[in-house]
Amino acid sequence: MDAVKPSDEPVIRLEHVEAGYPGRTILRDVTFDVRRGEIFALLGGSGCGKSTILKHMIGLNPVLGGRLTLAGQEWTRKTRASLCRKIGVMYQSGALFGSMTCLENVLLPLEEFSRLGRTARRARALELLADVELADAADRMPGEISGGMKKRVAIARAMALEPEVVFLDEPSAGLDPITSAALDGLILRLRREKGMTFVVVTHELPSVFAIADRCAMFDKARGRMIALGAPAALRDGSRDDFVRKFFGRGTVNGK
């Protein structure tokens, strides 16, 4: 992990949040802050609710209870437009638009929201692609590039409007260890150079230890957050069986 020190100012705050979908609560009483400039990981096994929490954070689903604020504002009909400008999201599949080239995908948010002129927008999009080391893939279609490249284009698109927080959903999923490590390096470099905050949903431990300043861990069986802190501190100091098992240092239910 690099030596960038996040500020103490919270950019995302969850207070006693009840997470899930109408009629189906998945997690209760979730409380934590994400600090500005931090790389924060949401950890847990499959189906534990970490992607559900992410969907609440990015305003796709409303929280069932409690309070969630992003840059001091809750997601409402009135705040949606301004909050959308403050976030960038990289989805698990990349979610690039298949009918557009990589450059057009990155250009899209700039065309819709930026006041830059046509030439400046194009230059900015190319610069973003260069940031993720994909300048030479500008004119290629998403179907012609690899999974790792798609994710990098998606990161470039997510950063197009210089958001305050970039959310990454399973960035390492489906990638080989070398590509995954390269993506981790990219995230660290972007944080160092741009000072952005990252929230990463993952269950890849090497990635967590490589990039995350802090993490929150969720347990499906208990339906709540069970740990919060620096990954190494949790690995070495937690007495919770599930946390120890997750980090490969303990037992769960005696197994």
Position 58 contacts another protein (CB under 8 A)? yes
Position 114 contacts another protein (CB under 8 A)? no
| Pick 113 or 144: Cβ nearer another protein | 113
Task: Give me the least distance between CB of 89 and another protein, in Å please.
Answer: 5
Task: Give me the least distance between CB of 232 and another protein, in Å please.
Answer: 32
* Contact yes or no for 17/31 (Cβ under 8 A): yes
| Pick 91 or 209: Cβ nearer another protein | 91
Task: Give me the least distance between CB of 163 and another protein, in Å please.
Answer: 10
| Size of the residue set binding another protein (CB under 8 A) | 21
Helix, strand and coil percent figures for the chain, each rounded to 5: 40, 25, 35
Among 25, 69, 79, 92, interactor with another protein by CB under 8 A: 92
Burial 94-123 (b: 16+ CB within 10 A, else e): bebeeeebbbbbbbbbbeeebeeeeeebbe
Among 60, 120, 123, 221, interactor with another protein by CB under 8 A: 60
Q: How far from 199 is each of 191, 207, 213, 221, CA to CA, in Å?
A: 11, 13, 10, 24
Whole-angstrom distance, CA of residue 205 vs CA of residue 43: 9
Question: Residue 151 has which token pair?
Answer: 């994710």
| Pick 200 or 227: Cβ nearer another protein | 200
- Which one of 58-66, 184-192, 193-201, 221-229 is the stretch in contact with another protein (CB under 8 A)? 58-66
Q: Count of residues for the chain? A: 255
Whole-angstrom distance, CA of residue 95 vs CA of residue 70: 23
The binding site for another protein (CB under 8 A) comprises: 58-60, 80-81, 84-85, 87, 89, 91-93, 95-99, 108-109, 112-113
